[in-house]
Amino acid sequence: MPSAFEAVRSDAHSDSTFFVTSGLLFIASAATTTLWTSSMDSGMAMLGGWTMSMAWMRMPTQTWLGAAASFMGMWLLMMVAMMIPSLTGMLMGYRRALRSAGTARLGGATVLAGAGYFLVWMLVGAAVYPLGIALAATEMRSEAVSRFVPVATGAVLLIAGCVQLSGWKARQLVLCRDSPQCAAMQSADARSSWAHGIHLGVHCGLCCSGYMMILLVTGVMNLGVMVMVAAAITIERLAPRPLRIARTAGMIVIAAAVIAIVQALLPP
């Protein structure tokens, strides 16, 4: 039987490894995302004074399958970079719950939970991509639709801001920060760990729906927007008063939406 001191030292070493691995994964994904987005063209100028993101365009040498694979690879890297800071805290809570239940080997359970979490975000990307492609094709074919995009963008931002202020958002934020299954989880088997990661991913995806709307309509490959959205999500998860952060962000987004709509409606 290991002594209490040895157990504490082993736990500290395990947690240090977890934090270092999370940090390296964040650095690698953030650096790769930055290089990827900076190597792409800024986009295509459209009627109405806006720019279409290159994420919705297929290169002349690409097949549709290749374009979809490229988007999904970019999406996964982007989600890892944006979500790792907040996910680390959630997985740390999961590890503590398992440890208090007497589970010693936490590495595999942590990896599976993280994989389940990012599977949810991959499914979100798989749903978003065909919708983005269809909308981009419509915008390129129709001059009227293209000119309406700036107003529509402002409207979506307005909806996103209202989501941030809603009671629904407040409930999702509580579920995302204080997952009830985290404390109840007592098994580190593969199925339970995988299910817990999916559970976290679903609640996180719902909680981040407003931010995802902002990201998608302002340019899915816009590095500045990515940084601001990632920072807002992380602060919401870690700040002692998350609802205040969420509502402040909502008011800022609503103000930006009103400005965007007014600018779009003003004559050139």
Report the chain's C-alpha Rg in angstroms.
21
pLDDT at 38: 79
Residue 179 pLDDT: 58
pLDDT for residue 251: 97
Report the alpha-carbon distance of residue 20 to residue 137 in Å, rounded.
43
Report the chain's mean pLDDT, rounded to a whole number.
Answer: 86
Q: What is the pLDDT of residue 57?
A: 80
How far, in Å, CA of 148 to CA of 143, rounded?
9
Using DSSP's 3-state secondary structure scheme, residue 43 falls into coil
Digit-by-digit pLDDT tens for the chain (268 residues) are 455 545 555 666 788 899 999 999 999 999 999 988 877 656 666 766 777 777 788 777 888 888 899 999 999 999 999 999 999 988 988 888 888 777 767 888 899 999 999 999 999 999 999 999 998 889 888 888 888 899 999 999 999 999 999 999 999 888 776 654 444 455 668 888 899 899 999 999 999 999 999 999 987 878 889 999 999 999 998 888 889 999 999 999 999 999 999 998 887 6
pLDDT of residue 96: 84
Query: What is the reported pLDDT for 180?
Result: 45
Residues linked to residue 46 through DSSP beta bridges, in sequence order = 50
Report residue 243 as tokens: 């609802």
Sequence-ordered list of residues with C-beta below 8 angstroms from that of 13, at least 6 positions apart, any chain: none
Specify whether the CB–CB gap between 138 and 145 falls below 8 A: yes
Q: Which residues have a Cβ under 8 Å from the Cβ of 167 and sit 6 or more positions away?
A: none
pLDDT of residue 256: 95
CA distances from 255 to 64, 195, 230, 231, 251 (A): 38, 39, 20, 19, 6
pLDDT reported for residue 140:
86
Answer whether 263's CB lies under 8 Å from 49's CB: no
Q: pLDDT of 200-252, one tens digit each?
A: 999 999 999 999 999 999 878 788 899 999 999 999 988 888 899 999 999 99
